[in-house]
């Protein structure tokens, strides 16, 4: 089972270790079948230890989802400066976005969240707010600054953010969700993102 190896974001290593183990159990057993007892057993502690940090399984699942979203967004936006050239910024965001969301690991998480959202809409809402909604807002801010510098002609930066991400993911997303195709190669990602950037700039680039 693949696990995240990124640097921990929380100073409390014990809390992060609990989330690590919970993520493994959620992916292997699904949210409904997973139990606090199973998580505690794999962690090597008691359920009481878990409840010292989380009110219950749903709170633990929310923490796992939020951390996964935070890591994805750090990859996408963490290295961008406020004055980054818009073509370079879009290329970086597009490549890191596709490389992350179309990976086997991320798709397992996404399927898990969508399945649970059917029964618990609040779980789906937590993911949407921490992931797609926040990510689109951050991309919209990049587009807004580029428009202010005269690099783009864009009336609605948030709508533009949705359009750009749609251009990036349109060709491969459904095939990957249906497990029809393997993870895209770096060259496939570069090709699709280059086309998305060219198309977006043709529509919104300053003359």
Do the beta carbons of residue 205 and residue 176 sit within 8 Å? no
At residue 54 the predicted structure's pLDDT band, cuts being 50, 70 and 90, is: very high
Chain centre to alpha carbon of residue 153? 28
Q: Look over the chain and give the mean of its residue pLDDT values, rounded to a whole number.
A: 89
For the stretch 55-90, pLDDT in tens is 999 899 989 988 888 888 888 898 788 788 999 999
Residue 107: name the closest of 188, 186, 169 by CA.
Answer: 169
Cα–Cα distance, 103 to 87 (Å, whole number): 24
Contact present, 72 and 105 (Cβ < 8 Å): no
Q: Which domains does the chain have, with CATH numbers?
A: 9-54 (1.10.10.60), 62-204 (1.10.357.10)
Tell me the pLDDT band of 6, cut-offs 50, 70 and 90: low
Strand partners, 205: 152
In terms of pTM, does the model score above 0.85?
no
């Amino acid at each position: 089972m693949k696990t995240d190896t990124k640097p921990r974001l929380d100073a409390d290593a014990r809390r992060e270790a609990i989330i690590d183990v919970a993520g493994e159990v959620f992916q292997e057993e699904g949210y409904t079948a997973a139990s606090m007892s199973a998580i505690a057993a794999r962690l090597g502690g008691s359920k009481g230890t878990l409840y010292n940090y989380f009110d219950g399984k749903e709170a633990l699942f929310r923490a796992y989802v939020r951390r996964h979203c935070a890591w994805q967004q750090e990859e996408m936006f963490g290295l961008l400066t406020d004055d980054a050239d818009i073509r370079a910024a879009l290329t970086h965001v597009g490549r890191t976005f596709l490389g992350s969301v179309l990976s086997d690991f991320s798709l397992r998480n996404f399927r898990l969240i969508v399945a649970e959202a059917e029964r618990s809409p609040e779980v789906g809402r937590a993911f949407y707010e921490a992931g797609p909604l926040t990510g689109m807002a951050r991309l919209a801010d990049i587009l807004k600054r580029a428009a202010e510098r005269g690099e783009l002609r864009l009336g609605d930066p948030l709508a533009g953010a949705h359009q750009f991400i749609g251009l990036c993911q349109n060709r491969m997303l459904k095939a990957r969700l249906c497990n029809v195709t393997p993870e895209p190669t770096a060259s496939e990602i570069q090709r699709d993102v280059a086309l998305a950037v060219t198309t977006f700039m043709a529509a919104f680039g300053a003359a």
